[in-house]
Chains A and B, each alone.
Chain A
């Protein structure tokens, strides 16, 4: 039953893709339906006319779009149900599909880990399918055919779901690459822009390299076992060295997809250029699927984790978290910023996962379960709020045709609903209490604080440092999203478009983000249900759950023990409401002190203009000074002079360009190396036939000499 739901989810998303293909085939559909009605004339006229009506030229595209997204949404709902089903039942369901190689059919396994990620995919897909129809309306059909968008969206979701279901390396890779390739087409969807093409190429290239690393990782396991089903791979007995090699390969492969520094560069390139609901899926969900892969590979297939791996994850995660948020802060393109912030969040997840590994390897499975829980919960939360923010970015883009936050401002009054939803997203991602981001970060700190149980001095001093880095990350994230929200929604409009902007009209476009925002808040107040779901994942995968996850009842969160730490978000909410209401009521009761609206105080100079407001680069200037080494900063100020002796400044041009260190350090050398190598190798082909004959001759002589 549960498996049927899961299959249903895959098939529905797949069919939604196929349905989208009908976009250009209206006449064929019309013909077909007429043919059909001719065949069965006794069908009632009502439905016939309804269908005929819907096939009219002006209705058809609209209805088809709706239908495609309805299917996609159903797929999401099915995925949620399937995920919940397996998590609640704590089941492991296996199956085989008679596809694939003749002697190895596709193996399917649906367990709690898959179920949990199914849940993530399902929620995100549902929200996106609510949002989608309104959003894609703005695309010009001749420039950006919906058929392509719909098809690959369906395939993309199907691919992600299949990755979660796969139980052999071959099937896994097929699903994995289906996901990559489909999303590649989505990134390249608006391909008339050369930056988009570049981004798409970079994305696909890194996806391919990552996939190759994963294959190699599976290959290492497979060479120690017979066959490449996950069942067989679990049985493989690897020496410590080989296991570490496999781990490093998997880390490279999955890390590339997840966007770990320094292999993150595709992410800020690819996410901004895809349509927003796709960016939401990519950033919110696909990165999680990569995380799933890593967890599946390390905790399930390799099984016997080493603490050194945990340290690697911890260090990489820390670097990614800090690097991600610092880079994010410097961005002016909203979606690019969000993409970098995904790097940060994935970094946090990796950190906590590393902690979990360290505890696991040191024989503290309960603490490992705690770390695991924090990691998965953060993954879940990130899926919610990053999705929300990307959808929000899409709404803003849809209304203002801008993504540059330096050109926005004042939208809180033009788009009140959007601003509210976006604010919730910002608060969640800044891990403020009462929202879900805080809960997972709190759990992460709790995990890190358990370091006292470890014997290893290095770990004991490393982990607190990482925890402090986590604190710094959280604080920087808050600063970053203050910037984002403040510059986009507050102050005065900085551009014409923003002045003209108005609220999103489409209900679905608001409903999708509203669903996510609601969940962000709900799970911020009542994290219990999700945590108990993750607990069953941990129970199945690590063989250990949290000791007393419900010891104090549903109000409380006390992961280790009540004497060590506890958090009761509902009580906090009540307290906040009481404090807020009392002060509000007390201060507002005097009618003499009603608000008076007046001009902004301008220090007596007069004429406050939007240009005088702080811009993005101004806001982040202190950070730029403090962390100067993190970026490659190219800052230039040019002055136009005029007047006598050219002494008066007529205009000042400020130019700021901020680049990632990984480009000149890592990627450009590789690119140049390959081009150079190609040039060298190219020399063998001189164009002269006598030289070619010489090759043949020499080869022959050498071969003969070799064998005799």
Chain B
């Protein structure tokens, strides 16, 4: 039963990810006084891409062709770990939050390699930048997560979230910092403004898009889907760690239903925040990103230190 719920939840994750992306796009368009595409446009895009014949460069090796599957699988695995609508998942036990970060790293590793595979300047540029940003983001993210795991004294996300849930409403200064840090990291890692612009192409500032420039057809679909999934993962992490209320603690239909509604509501609100931020800010120069990320790291560190100094039991 538990396993079934876990698998269902994962499928839900995968299924809902394009929806979130569509919703963000919608909000952004509204904010920018444009006519918004349909909420389901991302699904249509994905389906269209899967029906196209993929074109592969003659320089590409097997790695280029297999990488999208690997990237997608790794991201899906990360999704199994994060409680979406219910806590106490067996999958959270088989891989804790550090492993989840590992899955991200796995996906990124292959994405960067795929960028290098074809041997164009764009691919190399994208890979180099992606690896730079992610290596700065990773410690900041772990700092933020460690604040949680040390508070809950577990690295199992399910347990950690139920710990926060059971404590009720406790104002923790460390969580404020951690929330800020994780948000900044999430923006950087998912390639949103001001770090990267997801809607740009053929621009020397692009990062994520530069790597996947050579992809087409179903490969591109997988990669796009994976990045939508990643965006949602971060959203769910932020939503469920810092605002866990509403998540199902028992596996009955009613609780699960409430859980689903709760997370959808939380994500919708978060997406609006993201859209507002993306509208307000301009993209940074690449070498300002380090300052941005070190600020995130600083916040994470402050969170951890305030946990140790202000909140610890002794």
- Residues of A participating in the B interface, judged by any CB pair closer than 8 Å: 409-410, 412-413, 427, 430-434, 438, 442, 445-446, 449, 451-452, 455, 457, 460-461, 464-465, 467-469, 471-472, 474-476, 478-479, 482-483, 485-487, 489-492, 556, 562-568, 571-572, 575-576, 579-580, 583-584, 587-588, 590, 592-603, 608, 610, 612-614, 618-623, 625-626
| B230 in the interface (beta carbon within 8 A) | no
Do B128 and A464 have beta carbons less than 8 Å apart?
Answer: no
| B2 in the interface (beta carbon within 8 A) | no
Chain B residues with Cβ under 8 A from A445's Cβ?
98, 142, 155
Do B131 and A479 have beta carbons less than 8 Å apart?
Answer: yes
Pairs A–B under 8 Å by Cβ, sample size 16:
A432-B106, A433-B106, A468-B139, A468-B140, A491-B117, A491-B118, A565-B155, A567-B96, A572-B95, A584-B69, A595-B56, A596-B53, A601-B213, A612-B120, A622-B128, A626-B287
Do B99 and A567 have beta carbons less than 8 Å apart?
Answer: yes
Q: How far is the CB of A601 from chain B (nearest CB, A)?
A: 7
Q: How far is the CB of A597 from chain B (nearest CB, A)?
A: 5
Stretch at the interface among B73-81, B245-253, B263-271: B73-81
- Within 8 Å by CB of A613, from B69, B119, B290, lies B119
- Residues of B participating in the A interface, judged by any CB pair closer than 8 Å: 50-59, 61-63, 65, 69-70, 72-74, 76-77, 80, 91, 93-96, 98-99, 101-103, 105-106, 108-109, 112-113, 115-121, 123-125, 127-129, 131-132, 134-143, 146, 149-150, 153-156, 159, 202, 213-214, 217-218, 221-222, 286-287, 290, 297, 300-301, 304-305, 308-309, 312-314
Q: How far is the CB of A482 from chain B (nearest CB, A)?
A: 5
A460 CA / B62 CA spacing, docked (Å) = 47
Chain B residues with Cβ under 8 A from A452's Cβ?
150, 153, 312-313
A445 CA / B314 CA spacing, docked (Å) = 22
Do A479 and B119 have beta carbons less than 8 Å apart?
Answer: no
Q: How far is the CB of A397 from chain B (nearest CB, A)?
A: 21
Do B70 and A568 have beta carbons less than 8 Å apart?
Answer: no
Chain B residues with Cβ under 8 A from A483's Cβ?
128, 131
- Within 8 Å by CB of A472, from B69, B135, B290, lies B135
In order of increasing CB-CB distance, the 9 nearest A-B pairs are A614-B124, A486-B116, A491-B119, A475-B135, A479-B131, A568-B94, A579-B73, A475-B138, A622-B132
Do B53 and A593 have beta carbons less than 8 Å apart?
Answer: yes
Do B51 and A468 have beta carbons less than 8 Å apart?
Answer: no
Chain B residues with Cβ under 8 A from A626's Cβ?
132, 136, 287, 290
Do A598 and B153 have beta carbons less than 8 Å apart?
Answer: no
| Chain B: CB-nearest residue to A494 | B119
Chain B residues with Cβ under 8 A from A431's Cβ?
102, 105
4 further contact pairs, Cβ within 8 A, besides A452-B153, A472-B136: A445-B155, A465-B301, A613-B119, A626-B290
Chain B residues with Cβ under 8 A from A446's Cβ?
98, 155
Chain A residues with Cβ under 8 A from B109's Cβ?
427, 430, 432, 478, 482
Chain B residues with Cβ under 8 A from A621's Cβ?
128
Given contacts A478-B109, A593-B54, A622-B132, whether A449 and B149 have CB atoms under 8 Å apart is yes
Chain B residues with Cβ under 8 A from A622's Cβ?
128-129, 132, 286-287
A491 CA / B125 CA spacing, docked (Å) = 13
Chain B residues with Cβ under 8 A from A478's Cβ?
105, 108-109, 131, 134-135
Given contacts A563-B156, A566-B93, whether A430 and B105 have CB atoms under 8 Å apart is yes
A469 CA / B143 CA spacing, docked (Å) = 10
Do A487 and B55 have beta carbons less than 8 Å apart?
Answer: no
Q: How far is the CB of A525 from chain B (nearest CB, A)?
A: 13
Chain A residues with Cβ under 8 A from B62's Cβ?
412
A625 CA / B290 CA spacing, docked (Å) = 10
Given contacts A438-B102, A595-B54, whether A613 and B124 have CB atoms under 8 Å apart is yes
Do A587 and B50 have beta carbons less than 8 Å apart?
Answer: yes
Indicate the member of B131, B139, B297 with the most A CB atoms within 10 Å.
Answer: B131
Given contacts A475-B134, A598-B57, A614-B121, whether A583 and B72 have CB atoms under 8 Å apart is yes
Indicate the member of B76, B297, B305 with the most A CB atoms within 10 Å.
Answer: B76
Do B154 and A482 have beta carbons less than 8 Å apart?
Answer: no
| Chain B: CB-nearest residue to A450 | B153
Chain A residues with Cβ under 8 A from B108's Cβ?
478
Do B77 and A612 have beta carbons less than 8 Å apart?
Answer: no
Chain A residues with Cβ under 8 A from B80's Cβ?
575
Do A576 and B54 have beta carbons less than 8 Å apart?
Answer: no
A27 CA / B168 CA spacing, docked (Å) = 87
A620 CA / B96 CA spacing, docked (Å) = 31
Q: How far is the CB of B74 from chain A (nearest CB, A)?
A: 7
A434 CA / B70 CA spacing, docked (Å) = 13
Do A460 and B312 have beta carbons less than 8 Å apart?
Answer: yes
Do B127 and A482 have beta carbons less than 8 Å apart?
Answer: yes
A620 CA / B57 CA spacing, docked (Å) = 25
| Chain B: CB-nearest residue to A465 | B301
Chain A residues with Cβ under 8 A from B131's Cβ?
478-479, 482-483
A667 CA / B223 CA spacing, docked (Å) = 50
A564 CA / B286 CA spacing, docked (Å) = 39
Do A614 and B57 have beta carbons less than 8 Å apart?
Answer: no
Do A580 and B69 have beta carbons less than 8 Å apart?
Answer: yes
Do A575 and B77 have beta carbons less than 8 Å apart?
Answer: yes
Do B54 and A596 have beta carbons less than 8 Å apart?
Answer: yes
Do A592 and B156 have beta carbons less than 8 Å apart?
Answer: no
Indicate the member of B70, B106, B135, B309 with the most A CB atoms within 10 Å.
Answer: B135
| Chain B: CB-nearest residue to A622 | B132
Do A613 and B120 have beta carbons less than 8 Å apart?
Answer: yes
Chain A residues with Cβ under 8 A from B59's Cβ?
410, 491-492, 600
Q: How far is the CB of B231 from chain A (nearest CB, A)?
A: 18
A302 CA / B308 CA spacing, docked (Å) = 32
Do A583 and B56 have beta carbons less than 8 Å apart?
Answer: no
Chain A residues with Cβ under 8 A from B222's Cβ?
583, 587
Chain A residues with Cβ under 8 A from B132's Cβ?
479, 622-623, 626
Given contacts A576-B77, A597-B56, whether A474 and B94 have CB atoms under 8 Å apart is no
Chain B residues with Cβ under 8 A from A438's Cβ?
99, 102
A483 CA / B154 CA spacing, docked (Å) = 34
Do B112 and A598 have beta carbons less than 8 Å apart?
Answer: no
- Within 8 Å by CB of B308, from A461, A476, A565, A600, lies A461
Do B118 and A600 have beta carbons less than 8 Å apart?
Answer: yes
A583 CA / B221 CA spacing, docked (Å) = 11
| Chain A: CB-nearest residue to B222 | A583
Do A449 and B121 have beta carbons less than 8 Å apart?
Answer: no
Q: How far is the CB of A555 from chain B (nearest CB, A)?
A: 8
Q: How far is the CB of B169 from chain A (nearest CB, A)?
A: 23
Chain B residues with Cβ under 8 A from A575's Cβ?
77, 80, 91, 94
Do A580 and B70 have beta carbons less than 8 Å apart?
Answer: yes
A587 CA / B76 CA spacing, docked (Å) = 16
Given contacts A594-B53, A595-B56, A600-B59, whether A490 and B95 have CB atoms under 8 Å apart is no
Q: How far is the CB of B55 from chain A (nearest CB, A)?
A: 5
| Chain B: CB-nearest residue to A460 | B308
A476 CA / B128 CA spacing, docked (Å) = 11
Q: How far is the CB of A498 from chain B (nearest CB, A)?
A: 12
Do A410 and B58 have beta carbons less than 8 Å apart?
Answer: no
| Chain A: CB-nearest residue to B216 | A596
A457 CA / B140 CA spacing, docked (Å) = 22
Do A619 and B102 have beta carbons less than 8 Å apart?
Answer: no
Do A461 and B309 have beta carbons less than 8 Å apart?
Answer: yes
Given contacts A464-B143, A566-B93, whether A592 and B53 have CB atoms under 8 Å apart is yes
A564 CA / B102 CA spacing, docked (Å) = 18
Indicate the member of B139, B222, B304 with the most A CB atoms within 10 Å.
Answer: B139
| Chain A: CB-nearest residue to B221 | A587
Q: How far is the CB of B1 from chain A (nearest CB, A)?
A: 17
